[in-house]
Amino acid sequence: MITLLKQNQRQAIIKLLTSTEMFNQKEIDIAMEVTDVYLNNPDQKDYNYFVYEENGSVLGFICYGACPVSYNVYDLYWMAVHKEAQGKGIGSKMLTFAEENLKKEKARMMVAETSSQPIYEPTRQFYMKRGYKLEAQVKGFYKPDDDKMIFVKRFA
C-alpha cells in the first residue's frame, strides 16, 4: 500500500536507505534533510513524499516535487526500495503512482538523476525500462570518474 510518509516512519527511512548499500553517509544525511523538511513543515509544497508499506513495514519510498523554475516539470528527488524487497515490483509501483499523480497535475515531464558508477547500472536500466530517456550526461560531476546521468520521461 502506498501512503503519505508519517512522522513515526522516519527511522524506517534511515534503515531502508542504509539497507540498499548504495548511498554513502553524506547522501543519507541529505535524504534525511528532505525527509525532515517534509515531516516538520506540514504546509510545505516542495516535496511529495510517499512510502510503500506491507504488513506495517516500510519497504520503499518516493519523494518528488515541482521544479520551481519550470512550467509543470517535476524532479524525482529520492526513491529507494529496501534491499530485501528489491526485484518485487515495488519501485515500479511507486514510480507509476507518482507519474499518475503528476499526470493529474498536468505535468509535462519528470526528471530523474543518477550516477554513472557501475553500482547504479540497475538504476539506469530501471528508468529506461519505464520510458525514461537519457537526456544529458555531465562528465565528472560527482567525482572525476563519476558522471551525472539525467533521465527524462515526457507525459502526453
Is-contact 114 135, C-beta < 8 A? no
Question: Taking the model in full, what pTM does it have?
Answer: 0.94
Per-domain boundaries in the chain: 2-154
What is the model's pLDDT at position 156? 81
Report the interhelical angle of 10-19 vs 25-40 (nearest 10°). 160
Q: Chunked in runs of 10, what are the mean pLDDT values of the chain (156 residues)?
A: 96 97 94 96 94 96 96 97 96 98 96 96 97 98 97 95
2-154 domain in CATH 3.30.1370.160?
Answer: no
102-133 tens-digit pLDDT:
999 999 999 999 999 999 999 999 999 999 99
